[in-house]
Amino acid sequence: MTCFDLYLFSFKTLLYLWMLVYILIEGCLLRTHLEIIIVTSLTQFDKKLPEQSLYKNPKTGITTSYRMRKYSGTAEHDPIVFLHGFNGNSRSWAFQFDFFTDRTIIAINAPGFGRSDVIEGGMSVIADEVAATITALVTTPVVIVGHSMGGMLAQVLAVSHSDVIRALVLSCTHTGNANAADVPLNAAVQQRLEQRSKMDDATYGSLRVSAMLPGIAENEMFAFLADIAGEITYEGIRCGGLAMHHLDTRPLLPRIALPTCIIKAANDTVVSAEKGAALEHGISSATISVLQNVGHAPYCEDPEAFNIAISSFLASLSGPGDLS
């Protein structure tokens, strides 16, 4: 090898090294930039939300956490109470807090979610605690919007505590898994428990959102949903999982006499068509709204369409206690 060849080889090697360093630096800067964007976006989403508050039931001693924005105007419409799903919490309703500014809004954390105590005894006991929280916070009947797990809870509430409810919105939900008391938790929930016990919050949150919304881009919305799912505790999964595992609302549905809207998502891979059909058949008078191009989280995927579906339903109701 001549001196010129040696020089050329050294020059190329140095050039490659500099290129590698440049790529690494650019990659780190890009990652930092994306992290800043995501953190900023999460902050922007959470700015729409009031802080968590606590209600302790004096009869049971159970604490329920919630977020509430009281309406300060003079022509208030009926309050809306939002009940989240298995991958969510009260933060899930950021876009609804931002949209429904003409009324009091409450988002309740399910047992074991947020800062709510874990409750044993199934969905009926949970419904009793939610009803106690609602009556402690507002003096008039409310509109219940329940998503997925929250929709199952809403169905129970509509029968056991119909006096505190004016209307019902059931989003991407079904009638429960209808397992007998001696049947152990199904493999899917057992897997969630195992994953939660081994994974950090970020990994678990991302996994849950990817499973809930297959094909979703890892953008700011993904980060927001994953951050919420990452807050779910082992105890919350077990409590919610057991409540849904043994629940069967089919015998209750004919007793739901409240105005009801069922919101379905065209790309929902979580709630099967069969389970959805059972709900629609059981509440035959319900208004059906199908949202296109969204999966199992329409309240965040397309909040405008979701909010309009609720608003249109409420506007269609008239007479005493007009909800519009």
Domain ranges of the chain: 1-47, 52-315
Q: What pTM value is reported for the model?
A: 0.86
Q: What is the mean pLDDT of the chain?
A: 87
Q: For the chain, report the end-to-end CA distance as a whole number of angstroms.
A: 87
pLDDT confidence tier of residue 72, bands split at 50, 70 and 90: confident
User: pLDDT > 90: what percent of the chain?
Assistant: 76
Contacts by 255-258, CB closer than 8 A, 24 or more apart: 255/159, 256/155, 256/158, 256/159, 256/168, 256/282, 256/283, 257/162, 258/158, 258/162, 258/165, 258/166, 258/167, 258/168
pLDDT at 39: 45
- Going by C-alpha positions, the residue among 228, 203, 227, 207 that lies closest to residue 216 is 207
Mean pLDDT, residues 242-265: 97
- pLDDT for residue 19 is more than 60: no
Predicted confidence at residue 273, as pLDDT, reads 83
3-class DSSP state for residue 169? Answer: strand
Which is the CATH superfamily of the domain at 52-315?
Alpha/Beta hydrolase fold, catalytic domain (3.40.50.1820)
